[in-house]
Structures are given as structure tokens and as C-alpha cells.
């Protein structure tokens, strides 16, 4: 059991790190926004007993996080060395 938990912690660390091994505040903030969305969406769905549409502000926020992450990767790859 402890090996599995340790493996999950290592996976999470690698998920929140950049390719060079350093921590990424961009990935951490994106992860926290998605967790906040999931928490509020699931809570609303459970209390209302029906699946609601995703609010437009959450949709734009999550789309912006994904889009800015992709843009950042493109800029980093095209940056002259």
C-alpha cells in the first residue's frame, strides 16, 4: 500500500514539473483551477440531482489555461538557442 502511495506522489511531482525537472507554477495553477471546477461542478450536480451545463466562465477559464499552455510550449520550442 505504501509503495503505491509513494508511486502516486512521484507521479504527481513529475506531472507538475517541467521537462528540466523544476517545479512549474503554471502547471500547478492549471491543476488547481481544474480541481476547483470539478469540486464545484460535482457539488452542484449532486445537490440538484441533474447534470448542468458547464458555466461559460469555467469553460473560458479552462480553455484559456489549455490554450496558453500550448502557446507557451510553441514559443519555447521556437526560441533561438
Across 2-18, average pLDDT: 81
Across 74-78, average pLDDT: 82
The answer to whether residue 3 sits within a structural domain is: no
The answer to whether residue 72 sits within a structural domain is: yes
What is the structure's pLDDT at 26? 77
The answer to whether residue 50 sits within a structural domain is: yes
Q: Which of 34, 39, 35 is nearest to 61 (CA)?
A: 34
User: Which tens digit of pLDDT belongs to each residue from 21-71?
Assistant: 666 777 778 888 888 888 988 888 888 888 878 888 888 988 888 888 888
The answer to whether residue 75 sits within a structural domain is: yes
The answer to whether residue 11 sits within a structural domain is: no
The answer to whether residue 37 sits within a structural domain is: yes
What is the structure's pLDDT at 81? 64
The answer to whether residue 19 sits within a structural domain is: no
The answer to whether residue 44 sits within a structural domain is: yes
What is the structure's pLDDT at 57? 87
The residue range of the domain holding 47 is 25-81
What is the structure's pLDDT at 75? 84
Nine-digit cell string for 24: 512549474
Amino acid at each position: 500500500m505504501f509503495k503505491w502511495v509513494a508511486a502516486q506522489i512521484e507521479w504527481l511531482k513529475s506531472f507538475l514539473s517541467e521537462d528540466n525537472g523544476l517545479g512549474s507554477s503554471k502547471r500547478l495553477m492549471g491543476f488547481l483551477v481544474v480541481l476547483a471546477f470539478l469540486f464545484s461542478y460535482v457539488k452542484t450536480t449532486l445537490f440538484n440531482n441533474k447534470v448542468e451545463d458547464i458555466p461559460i466562465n469555467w469553460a473560458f477559464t479552462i480553455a484559456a489555461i489549455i490554450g496558453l499552455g500550448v502557446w507557451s510550449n510553441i514559443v519555447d520550442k521556437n526560441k533561438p538557442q
